[in-house]
Amino acid sequence: MKNIFYTLLLTVVLSSCSEYQKALKSEDIATKFKMGTELYDAGKYSKANKLFAQIVPQYRGKPQAEKLMYMYANTYYEMRDYYLAGYQFERFESQYPKSEKAEEALFLSAKSFYELSPVYSKEQIETVTAIEKLQMFINKYPESEYLPQANKLIQELDYKLERKAFEIAKLYNKIANFESADYEASIKAFDNFLLDYPGTTFREEAMYYRFDSAYKLGINSVEYKREDRLNTAIKYYNAFHKAYPESEFNSEAEEMINELQTAIQHYSIKS
């Protein structure tokens, strides 16, 4: 019985493959459309995509074109080819703005760009593009059922940019431990980060590492710049301590501020 079952199954599979190959080679676009739709409905997106790609140009202006173009775009999305999915869905929404699928298509286009966003440690061009595309969708469909999801995706992308900026600033601090001239770059990087992301979850760390960089710059500074840099470091400590009096970095920060206050007394005595 098992042999009979497997024989029948093999026959069905081979027959199906044969029909697909015939459809691929056929000159009849209706045959390709029908077979492609059946494959699409069965979740065989790669095969459906190959058939749809052959007939898209011939169906322009025809009644079936709207359905075909949506399925064609969605095959790319289901295949995780997000570059082409984003392009095709955006194209669909532009060509069929009154379609009942237009709103969904523009959302899926934006979501495709979201899927292209890399991990925070890499270049974030795709992340910026995804945010722009999602915002464009929100602006066009402010009452959309996809609005909560779109906002959530933007929050994730924003966090990725925030994390990237913080890690870059933190890297300046680490590099400065080997090249003291880079402490100024580190301080500026944290200043810019705190200005660009005032509500960041990394604010405590950023303020601490900014103070750490200013402390090291002041302590290791040349004499004619030392007093000003010590005072700047003390200013950054005061801002940090005021914002986070119970910080986990307090023990390290207190050691540094004590050393700064001792160093600055030298200038008070001289004056």
Helix (H, G, I), strand (E, B), or coil: what is residue 117? coil
pLDDT at 158 over 50: yes
pLDDT at 5 over 80: no
Q: With 0.85 as the threshold, say if the pTM is over it.
A: no
pLDDT digits (tens, 9 = 90+) for 135-153: 999 999 999 999 999 999 9
Q: How much is the pLDDT for 270?
A: 58
Whether 15 maps to a domain, the answer reads no
Q: How much is the pLDDT for 180?
A: 54
pLDDT at 13 over 50: no
Query: Domain containing 221: what range?
Result: 176-269
Look at 180 and 207; give whichever has higher pLDDT.
207
Q: How much is the pLDDT for 269?
A: 59
Q: Are residues 156 and 188 in the same domain?
A: no
Whether 3 maps to a domain, the answer reads no
Q: Are residues 94 and 186 in the same domain?
A: no
Whether 193 maps to a domain, the answer reads yes
Cα distance between residue 12 and residue 10, in whole Å: 5
pLDDT range class, residue 182, cuts 50, 70, 90: confident
Range 145-151, long-range pairs (CB < 8 A, 24+ positions):
146/103, 146/104, 146/107, 149/107, 150/107, 150/110
Q: Are residues 120 and 49 in the same domain?
A: yes
Burial of 85 (0-12, 13-18, 19+ CB in 10 A): buried
Q: Are residues 224 and 107 in the same domain?
A: no
